[in-house]
Amino acid sequence: MNSIKRIPIFETVLVVAILSLHLYAALADAYAFPNNWFVRDDAYYYFKVAQNIVEGKGSTFDGINLSNGYHPLWMLICIPIFALAKYDLILPLRVLLMVIAVIHAATAVMLYRLIKEYLSHAVAILAAVFWSFNFYIHSTIYEMGLETPIAAFSVVFVIYNLSLFEKDLQTSAITLKKIAWLGFLAAIAMFSRLDLIFFAVIVGVWVVFRGTSIRSLLPIDLAVIFLSMTSSVILRTGFPAYNTTYAPSAVEATLIAAVLKILALYFLGGYQTPHLHSIWKTLRKIFFALLIGSALTAVVYILFVQFGLGRNFPRSAFALDFIFSLILISASRLATAWFANPSQSHTNESPIAQLKSTWTTWLREGLSFYGVLGGLLIAYMVFNHIIFGTSSPVSGQIKRWWGSMENSAYERSASKWSSYLGLDEGAFETGRPYTDLVWELSSNLRSLIRGSDMVDERFFAVLITFTFLWLLLVFLNKDHSKQAFIKLGLIPLAAGSVIHILSYTATAYGGAKEWYWVSQMIFLTFALSLFLDLVLKPVQRVPYFQFLFVFIALLYGLNSTTRFWGFINYAMPHGRYSADQPLMEAITFIETNTQPGEIIGMTGGGNVGYFIQDRTIVNMDGLINSYEYFEILRNGEAPVYLRERGMTVLFANPRFLNLPPYFGQFDPYLERYGTFGEKDLLYLLPEPKQ
């Protein structure tokens, strides 16, 4: 009887619901998999490479060119699954769907446990159900077959272990082994999606500098410095010039500013506990530290330019950067002073004295954490350099190349402030699905903010209002909010998410996708759970209302599960499609009009490359091609290079190939002989046409 009581009923029901629904989907008609579930072309880059690795061809999509254009942890998961492809191409997709479902359920359970322990039971149920059955979250993270399920799990698992770490701080000594373990978990998160490196690095700050104000202030400062410097340059140059010319120099200046400003802030007392001094003394320290840091940044970068180590830079941006960073960092110190607990004992030793007394501890623990994180990253980069000729995935390098072009055929880099801040519609909307409500509410402001061109203004009016209410509730409930921030790791998660966004929007990155923003979804899930908890807090003290809110949350869960079943039943039918129905009409067309053994080029081609029989698909955009091909494509020699490697046919839109990044280099070598939809079958001639 006692063992039955210990069974977590909600968790069990949630896991059973997720796995049952996905098991039904996994047994669906074969036709449904490429057309209704794993529909993103990019996922099949993983699938085909994993299949080729199992078959002994190496890390290659086409069996010709070695490529590292993927995130390594997800590829490791895919490799054993796609060993099954030798029996049936759909079988590994069925298995993968269930593997993703298990990861999905584990992530939802961890979210539930964290929110239940540190906020409230009703809010935990709502958050777990929303994460499990929201259509946007599911379609973006769990349906595509990409690395996003393991990325979401890894981030939440790191937060879960950070919450356990906070408990250990109260009950036991923290060993170097425990810190190294956290470094390993941070590395796992990084390898799940390599752009989570910012989150991983900041987790180390959170762990090593515990017990000091550096812990919470430094992550915020890093995000502020990145935001301040890059936005200052954009204000001086405008987005077109920034993306094509100034983005690299802005990033260089940001890195210099991060080092010099943080050193100035530390040694001038900017990381002492703010409430131990008067507000004016604290602000004075911040002013002089940032003045010195900004001045040194300007001098160092100008010297770099003079010696040919840096690029041209709008010097007035340094002044703007000083003003912006002063405002934002001062605000962070005032907020810290508000949340600090005066009853707790805090040391008031000088920065030099603090450094003398703690540097050995910081060094040992820093080496334990970053030795694991950095060591694994260096090993990964060295391996890539030896095997693939480049230390980082070629796909990311290619997309930054796209972003430097004004008229790329692919998704362009951030071109306005809303996209720079990650609040635009489309690929740069990092707040979905939570911003969907903001967009809906903003449509009701047309009578107040008139004009068809004022859509963004209405959106930001609602967003700012909601953010103000969230901050007001947080500040009015500072003790409860502070504990939630600490236990749920909201500061490292928020700072890492901001820098993560800017690593795309402030670096002229083209081809960004909606599934990049995993950490932002998780942060907003926690942040809005805190908001809902604070709204309900006054009445949750009454037992009757606690029961009522849990009951309402369970009804919401039942409704969400029912709606999700409707989606599964429609998208993944049983017996609707015949077993011999072609999986993709384009594949049938290509196979009918080409010869067995033919090597065919496509701009993309992931799903075709996986399913096509007796032909080879070569990826022409370079995302899952070799670093050598990337260099060849940039030099305008791709047609000759591909022809020399046996490619005789293209399946592509020739008008698309006339745009950057192809710049029409294929046009003299092409001769059309068939059409399917918006694409043509084209001969790749050995010599350019006269």
Q: What is the pLDDT of residues 95-120, one digit of tens each?
A: 999 999 999 999 999 999 999 999 99
Residue reference for tokens 């032909």: 615
Q: Return the bridge partners of 601, or none.
A: 618, 650
Average pLDDT over residues 549-574: 95
Whether the CB-CB separation of 428 and 419 falls below 8 Å is answered with yes
- Whether residue 58 has pLDDT greater than 70: yes
pTM beyond 0.85, yes or no: yes
Does any domain span residue 42? Answer: no
> Which pLDDT score is estimated for 657?
94
C-alpha angle 144/69/658, rounded to 5°?
A: 90
- Whether residue 390 has pLDDT greater than 90: yes
> Which pLDDT score is estimated for 407?
83
How many angstroms separate the Cα of 404 from the Cα of each of 173, 213, 407, 459? Answer: 50, 39, 9, 29
Whether the CB-CB separation of 170 and 210 falls below 8 Å is answered with no
Q: Is 26 left (phi over 0), alpha (psi -120 to 50) or beta?
A: alpha
> Which pLDDT score is estimated for 6?
66
Instruction: Write down the mean pLDDT value for the chain.
Output: 92
Same domain (yes/no): 594, 613: yes
Q: How many CB atoms lie within 10 A of CB 439?
A: 17
Does any domain span residue 58? Answer: no
Q: Which of 380, 406, 432 is the last residue of a domain?
A: 406
Average pLDDT over residues 281-302: 93
- Whether residue 82 has pLDDT greater than 50: yes
Query: In whole angstroms, what is the distance from residue 409 CA to residue 659 CA?
Result: 6
Q: Which of 581, 596, 612 is the last residue of a domain?
A: 581
Q: Omega before 660 cis (within 30°)?
A: no
What is the pLDDT confidence band of residue 1, given thresholds at 50, 70 and 90? Answer: very low
Same domain (yes/no): 521, 563: no
Q: How many residues does the chain have?
A: 690
> Which pLDDT score is estimated for 331?
93
Same domain (yes/no): 28, 149: yes
Does any domain span residue 607? Answer: yes
> Which pLDDT score is estimated for 442?
84
Residue reference for tokens 């707040």: 431
> Which pLDDT score is estimated for 275?
67
Same domain (yes/no): 207, 305: yes
What is the DSSP annotation of 168-179?
HHHHSPPPHHHH
Query: 599 by DSSP, 3-state: which?
Result: strand
Average pLDDT over residues 302-326: 87
Residue type, 392: S
Does any domain span residue 347? Answer: no
- Alpha helices, H only, 310-350: 316-339
Query: 289 by DSSP, 3-state: which?
Result: helix
Same domain (yes/no): 576, 618: no
Joined tokens for residue 101: 């479902």
> Which pLDDT score is estimated for 452?
67
HEC sequence for 128-145: HHHHHHCHHHHHHHHCCC
Query: In whole angstroms, what is the distance from residue 416 CA to residue 324 CA?
Result: 19
Largest CA distance in the chain: 87
Query: In whole angstroms, what is the distance from residue 40 CA to residue 25 CA?
Result: 17
Same domain (yes/no): 600, 480: no
Residue 658's Cβ-count burial label (10 Å; 0-12, 13-18, 19+) is middle
- Whether residue 345 has pLDDT greater than 80: no
Residue 616's Cβ-count burial label (10 Å; 0-12, 13-18, 19+) is middle
Q: Which of 478, 459, 465 is nearest to 530 (CA)?
A: 478
Q: How far is CA 212 from the centre of its chain?
A: 29
Whether the CB-CB separation of 182 and 489 falls below 8 Å is answered with no
Q: Which of 540, 555, 573 is the last residue of a domain?
A: 540
> Which pLDDT score is estimated for 537?
86
Q: Which of 627, 593, 625, 629 is nearest to 612 (CA)?
A: 593
Query: 597 by DSSP, 3-state: which?
Result: coil
Whether the CB-CB separation of 572 and 32 falls below 8 Å is answered with yes
Does any domain span residue 357? Answer: no
Does any domain span residue 359? Answer: no
Query: In whole angstroms, what is the distance from residue 141 CA to residue 160 CA?
Result: 20
Does any domain span residue 57? Answer: no
Q: Which of 126, 94, 100 is nearest to 112 (CA)?
A: 126
- Whether residue 2 has pLDDT greater than 50: no
Same domain (yes/no): 96, 205: no
% of residues, the chain, pLDDT over 70: 97
Query: In whole angstroms, what is the distance from residue 327 CA to residue 259 CA?
Result: 19
- Whether residue 517 has pLDDT greater than 60: yes
> Which pLDDT score is estimated for 273?
79
Q: Omega before 661 cis (within 30°)?
A: yes
Whether the CB-CB separation of 229 and 248 falls below 8 Å is answered with no
Report the domain count for the chain: 4
- Alpha helices, H only, 238-278: 239-241, 247-267
Same domain (yes/no): 555, 518: no
Whether the CB-CB separation of 38 and 144 falls below 8 Å is answered with yes
The string of pLDDT tens digits covering residues 132-187 is 999 999 999 999 999 999 999 999 999 999 999 999 888 878 899 999 999 999 99
Whether the CB-CB separation of 142 and 151 falls below 8 Å is answered with no
What is the bridge-based pairing of β-strands 616-619 and 599-602? parallel
Same domain (yes/no): 376, 456: no
Which domain covers residue 528, as residue numbers? 407-540
Query: In whole angstroms, what is the distance from residue 109 CA to residue 657 CA?
Result: 47
Exposed e or buried b per residue across 540-575, where buried means at least 16 C-beta atoms within 10 angstroms of its C-beta: beeeeebeebbeebbebbeebbeebeebbeeebeee
**CA quadruple 442, 443, 447, 452: dihedral, nearest 10:** 110
> Which pLDDT score is estimated for 455?
77
Query: In whole angstroms, what is the distance from residue 28 CA to residue 11 CA?
Result: 26
- Whether residue 343 has pLDDT greater than 70: no
Q: How far is CA 590 from the centre of its chain?
A: 35
Does any domain span residue 356? Answer: no
- Alpha helices, H only, 599-637: 606-611, 627-634
Same domain (yes/no): 532, 551: no
The string of pLDDT tens digits covering residues 627-683 is 999 999 999 999 999 999 999 999 999 999 999 999 999 999 999 999 998 899 999
Query: In whole angstroms, what is the distance from residue 584 CA to residue 407 CA?
Result: 31
Same domain (yes/no): 272, 208: yes
The string of pLDDT tens digits covering residues 62-71 is 999 999 999 9
Same domain (yes/no): 154, 78: yes
What is the pLDDT confidence band of residue 453, given thresholds at 50, 70 and 90? Answer: low
